Amino acid sequence: MLFAVLFEDDNNCAADVRTRYMPAHLDFLSTHASMIRAAGPLRQHEGSGAGGLWLVDADSADEVDRLVKTDPFWPTGLRRSVRILIWKQVFADGARL
């Protein structure tokens, strides 16, 4: 089952937190590449981080929640909230699936 995971970042979190933990976060994404099909930052405008988006292949939302909570970003306070939503792809590369 595919899940869209939407992260909202805490703008009050120290600016250096993202920079300091980014290498560990990227290693985490690589380590879990069999589950995390895509990942990337969300921005409200250039240079201002707003959160992130993952597409995750997992058996349940609980499994995704456990994965989220093992990300090195999680315990830092950077993430203000997370939403885990079931996602069904119906369109890709200009065509309906």
DSSP element (H, E) containing 6: strand 2-9
For residue 44, the model assigns a pLDDT of: 80
For residue 45, the model assigns a pLDDT of: 76
* Integer Cα distance of 64 and 3 in angstroms: 8
**Total count of domains within the chain:** 1
Other Cβ atoms within 10 Å of 68 Cβ, number? 17
Handedness of CA 44, 50, 55, 61 (dihedral sign): negative
Tens digits of pLDDT across the chain (97 residues): 999 999 999 888 767 888 899 999 999 999 999 999 999 999 887 766 789 999 999 999 999 999 999 999 999 999 999 999 999 999 999 999 9
For residue 47, the model assigns a pLDDT of: 66
For residue 60, the model assigns a pLDDT of: 98
* Integer Cα distance of 56 and 32 in angstroms: 10
Q: Which residues pair with 8 in a beta bridge?
A: 51, 81
Provide the CATH number for the domain around residue 46. Answer: 3.30.70.1060
What pTM value is reported for the model? Answer: 0.90
Query: Which domain, by its residues, includes 14?
Result: 2-96
Task: For residue 35, give the 3-state DSSP assignment.
Answer: coil
